[in-house]
Amino acid sequence: MLNAISQVSRAAAATAALLFVLSGAMLTYEVVARYFFISPTTWAAELSQLCLIWGGLLAMAELLASRRHITVTAVTDLLPPLGRRLCAGLALALVVLFSVIVATWGWDIFYDSFRRGRTTGSLLNLPVWISELPVPLGFALLALQGLVELLRLPRAAAPGLGATEP
């Protein structure tokens, strides 16, 4: 089960990478269309924003698994291995708690927009829920990956000195 969650996190991160590339391609197309052909698009900016939103939120869980989130280790690096492990466990528990709260509230916001049929009001007039859905999905996956990392923590090497071991 733990490996399955980690595989989903890796797949979500790969999807995020693809979305970032797609966003860059759309924005490049927009610049060329606007400044070279004097024919701006009505879709590139909004769709690239959606790609960035989805990509950023889908990548969070894999970043946690690979220890790529920003950490401040000035104090924890001075602790013995047990102290570093306890601090890592506390941090992971807080990440899980925060993620569950955001996923729950995010789901409520998404569902309300979905139910009411809210739209962006932009030229594309897309449903708002498309940009709200990655919040509960991304944070739910982050919460699950946080639980995986908490369960793996007793067997992992003690974090420290900027270590990046998963």
Q: Which of 63-72, 85-94, 95-104 holds the top average pLDDT?
A: 95-104
Q: How far is CA 109 from CA 20, 94, 130, in A?
A: 25, 22, 12
CA distances from 142 to 59, 80, 83, 87, 135 (A): 9, 28, 24, 19, 10
| pLDDT of res. 73 | 84
- pLDDT of 84 > 80? The answer is yes
What is the model's pLDDT at position 126? 95
| C-alpha pair distances (Å), 32 with each of 26, 48, 60, 142 | 10, 15, 32, 37
**pLDDT(85) > 70:** yes
Per-residue pLDDT, 69: 84
pLDDT value at 154 more than 60: yes
Taking only the tens place, the pLDDT of each residue in 93-145 is: 999 999 999 999 999 999 999 999 999 988 899 999 999 999 999 999 999 99
The rounded mean pLDDT for the chain is 92
Q: Where are the domains of the chain?
A: 2-155
Q: Please say if the pLDDT value at position 164 is more than 80.
A: no
Q: What is the pLDDT of residue 94?
A: 97
Please give the pLDDT value at position 143: 98
pTM for the full model?
0.88
pLDDT at 159: 67
Residue 165, pLDDT score? 45
